[in-house]
Structure 1
Amino acid sequence: MLHPPLEFSRIVSLGAMCQVAHQIQRRYGPTPFNPLDWVGTSFSALSKLFADDGTHLAAVDVEVLDEAAVNLSYGLNYYHEFPRNPDRVPVITETGLTVCRRKMRRKHLHFVKRIADNERTLFVRLLGHHDRMDTDYKTPDPRPLCYAEINELVRAIEKRFPGLPFHLALVRIPQLTKLRGDERLDNRVIFHTIPPFQHWKGDDGVWDQVFDLYRIKSVELVQPDVTKEYLHP
């Protein structure tokens, strides 16, 4: 079993859902802009985002699929970016798209600048939703997540931020997400197991058990409006 390093300069959410950003901010306070905070993210989207430097975060290809506003290039669920009608269906307008594009681009540029300082970084991902972000967070994944896919993400981060010392903490609910060890796993990957949760925020005590294994040594400067980063409930 891998023993996680104790100290990092920052902790960064890689989704899959708002729970991770919520739990990080609950434990450590408001955090700097991150394009994946308050956005639903499939696992397969992560490698694409790092590989093309978030080019399509500001794309216009956003459609309503299954009552969610989805960025078709990455499969991101923009859950909080657009207002909803009485049936909870997102209402997408040209004005809303313009606001969303500007916001996502701004957040990504800030994220890249922040990570490029080569400080020790802990990326945290709640596993699940390999190929498509499902708005029902209690749905079991239709297939196992392969070690090869995890290694691909590690390589994508390494290529985009050469020299960055980082680890990838993957939090897994065994009842929902299975793993397939099809190749040797990168030694920067650390698994944590948690029980199923009933509320989107997750269980504070369970997440604290994960966070207790790490120490974040510095507090990053935060924009004054960071707590308003999601626009619509």
Structure 2
Amino acid sequence: MQFKFAVSLGASCSVAYQIRRYFGQETAFPFDWLITPFASLIQLIENDLQSFVEPAHLAPYQNYFSLLNTNHLVLHHHDVPRENGRIVPDWAAHVEQVRDKYEFLGQRWREMMTDPEPVLFVRHQGRAHLTNPGAESIPVLKANGLSNLIKEKRQGRPFQIIFASAIDPEDTRPLTSEAFRFDDVRYTDQEEWPDPSDWWRGASADWTRVFKVVAGSVNQGRQILNERT
């Protein structure tokens, strides 16, 4: 299948980075640079990302480590300036810009969901945690729930979805026909990224293998996405 867009569903920034690296896609979508737990993802998609960000619902998180959306429980980790690994003390001066950004991206999401051309969605990791590092896998039932929710929102328009190291490896029940499952996509590759500050970028070799299976060769993928974005 040829895709007009590849769209990150989180859980973290590595998915958006790897989409850009492989496909050459520059078009941004709402979950690109967030840390998004699975339950929050479902809630936001159910609501069509309406009223995603309200300035009154943004607050520093864990001693200014990040910016928490208290309404939807996602981290806006890169949406305000950072210094020395933490958000700046005057973070509140930037919240109107954050709201405007997600109003724009929310509208782009809604337009993408009604676009008749195929879309590829990508979820890495299952239940990402805000309070503890790492993530827990989800059962096939939850994965199928997400796939069916997107099918409902897409209203018959074609799509496929990748679950990368997101589903419980011991749960072998069948997925929906739109889903691809890969259980061996690492969070990072320390040989590729020896500097720990780069670990968030993910394991490029793993992602290249995944995208080749689903979207064809790297050149084909770049051609498809670039000529339509």
* TM-score interval, normalised by the smaller of the two chains: 0.7 to 0.9
**Structure 1 SS opposite 2:97:** helix
Inter-partner Cα distance in structure 2 for 1:196 and 1:37? 16
Match among 216, 224, 229 for residue 218 of structure 1: 224
Contact 1:68 1:90 in 2 (8 A): no
Inter-partner Cα distance in structure 2 for 1:145 and 1:62? 28
Q: Which runs of 5+ in 2 are unaligned?
A: 191-198
Q: Which of structures 1 and 2 has the larger relative contact order (alpha carbons within 8 angstroms, sep 6+)?
A: 1
Post-superposition shift, 1:93?
A: 4.1
Inter-partner Cα distance in structure 2 for 1:202 and 1:122? 19
Inter-partner Cα distance in structure 2 for 1:8 and 1:132? 30
Which region of structure 1 is more displaced relative to structure 2, 55-64 or 115-124? Answer: 55-64
Aligned to 1:152: 145
One-letter amino acid of the structure 2 residue matched with residue 187 of structure 1: S
Question: Which protein has the bigger helix share?
Answer: 2
Match among 33, 55, 58 for residue 62 of structure 1: 58
**Structure 2 SS opposite 1:21:** helix
Inter-partner Cα distance in structure 1 for 2:2 and 2:80? 38
1:166 paired with 2:165, answer no
Post-superposition shift, 1:160?
A: 2.0
1:40 paired with 2:40, answer no
Q: Which runs of 5+ in 1 are unaligned?
A: 1-5, 223-233
Deviations 1:99-157 (A, max 9, x none): 100001101102221331121111111113x1634684xx353xx41222212212221
In structure 2, the CA distance between the partners of 1:209 and 1:82, relative to structure 1 (3 Å rule), is same
Aligned to 2:200: 200
Percent sequence identity is: 23
Aligned to 1:109: 107
Inter-partner Cα distance in structure 2 for 1:94 and 1:140? 29
Contact 1:33 1:111 in 2 (8 A): no
Normalised TM-score (structure 2) = 0.79
Contact 1:15 1:37 in 2 (8 A): yes
1:132 paired with 2:129, answer yes
Contact 1:15 1:124 in 2 (8 A): yes
Contact 1:12 1:121 in 2 (8 A): yes
Aligned to 2:193: none
Inter-partner Cα distance in structure 1 for 2:128 and 2:187? 20
**Structure 1 SS opposite 2:144:** helix
One-letter amino acid of the structure 2 residue matched with residue 166 of structure 1: F
Contact 2:3 2:225 in 1 (8 A): no
1:11 paired with 2:6, answer yes
